[in-house]
Amino acid sequence: MEYRTEHDSMGQVQVPADALWGAQTQRSYQNFRIGSETMPENIIRAFALLKKAAAQANDELDVLPHNQAVLIQRVCDEILAGQHRDQFPLKIWQTGSGTQTNMNFNEVIANRGNQIAAQEGDDSRPLHPNDSVNRSQSSNDTFPTALHIAAALGITEQLIPAGQHLIGTFHDLEVKNQGIIKCGRTHLQDAVPIAFSQEIHGWRGLVQTPLDQFVYVLPFLYRIALGGTAVGTGLNAPKGFDTLVADKLHQLTGLPFRTDPNKFHALTSKDAIVFAHASVKALACNMMKVANDVRWLASGPRLGLGEITIPANEPGSSIMPGKVNPTQCEAVTMVAVQVMGNDAAIGFAASQGNFELNVFMPVIAYDFCQSATLLSDAMESFNIHCAQGIVANREKMSHNLHNSLMLVTCLNPYIGYENAAKVAQKAYKEGTSLRDACVALGFLTAEEFDKVFKPEEMV
């Protein structure tokens, strides 16, 4: 491999000749060979949006030459279009402020911008990573800002749409399954009847409610730290930069970003991320419940509940021919477990804001972005490959319903709770019907029983 010599404030560094990054990125690349986790796509996109907005604000405030601001924006647009992904190789496990990732962006944007300038006849290398691309900024306010941007986009562009798609499927299933009555279950035991459409309606609410909760958490993510620079005082940032750059981000994303009124809090606290991820975890918990309900109801095909069938997507065993498993449900539950683990990690990391800065931000960013991506992907996959293909097994539902001892509950108003309990216990012990047990105990005649015992009216 061929190398070129780059330098930073600590001296010279050998950098791969074809790399757009510079000395500081190379030092981090060499010094943190830890794991395989690199900065997630959402953070790369967030930084590109941030740097573009900062360049626009610096241009408008006349603290950055117009030609430099334009070059920065052009490179940011390339990054936003998906180019140069291989130029961001740094690991999550680096400095806790994310300084090296900020400098990775500064160096890539500067070197690529200088390439563009040279191609257009300007060999002066107009962009400098710190003086141009990082103008009016610090790693300490850019990384938390990128974190909030990535989290807000993860919720609004990934989780909410995926959830809405699944909600739509459940709504269609509700309509399709109107009139089907089945046995309800509590404590994994038989309970009183429920309409299958009502059960599905419950699933729909399990997705809808966390989405509704996002309305309350997003405003806190829209508050950004940019403008606080190193410790929250705004040193080296021009007056009005913080509000202007927030307006620019609003224009670029369509999301109502605004400057955080307390930059000291914004740099050191990650409570907004903790709050937001708690809602993500709530959605994951509910998806765990939905997936488990579906796979229990589909269990069998002959020796389980078997009240619904789900799509058979692939063979389920390497040794048992014809076996099919609820794999989409299993994928959802594994993702839910990962999200719950991420929530614990984010909580621990957020508690480590020492003095003027939290120094666990890269792992917070990684975990939040992973949760948003995994959960949205899992919901989309579950929706397409499982939920849309759910079919009620009407015969099995009817059989289970009419063999449920908890139908005896409808007799409470006529024979009382204790006598109804005696009916259920006798029917269970002797393997007879509730009707036979009730008549044998003399609580109702057969005609009276038939008049009041109507499972379909119990929902």
Catalytic status, residue 201: no
Q: Can you spell out the DSSP letters for 66-99?
A: HHHHHHHHHHHHHHHTTTTGGG---BSSS-TT-H
28 CB-side CA count, 13 A: 25
What tokens does 190 get? 């038989």
Catalytic residue among 9, 36, 124, 187: 187
Burial 150-163 (b: 16+ CB within 10 A, else e): bbbbbbbbbbbebb
Identify whether 187 is a catalytic site residue: yes
In which residue are the tokens 């750059």 written? 245
User: Which residues does 128 contact at the CB level (< 8 Å), separation at least 6?
Assistant: 110
CA distance 150 to 49: 10
Which of 7, 66, 317, 351 does the annotation list as catalytic? 317
Cα–Cα distance, 282 to 336 (Å, whole number): 10
Q: Is the separation of the CB atoms in 426 and 432 below 8 Å?
A: yes
Is residue 408 a contact partner of residue 443, using CB atoms and an 8 Å limit? no
> CA-CA distance, 409 to 438, in Å (whole number)?
12
The catalytic site residues sit at: 187, 317
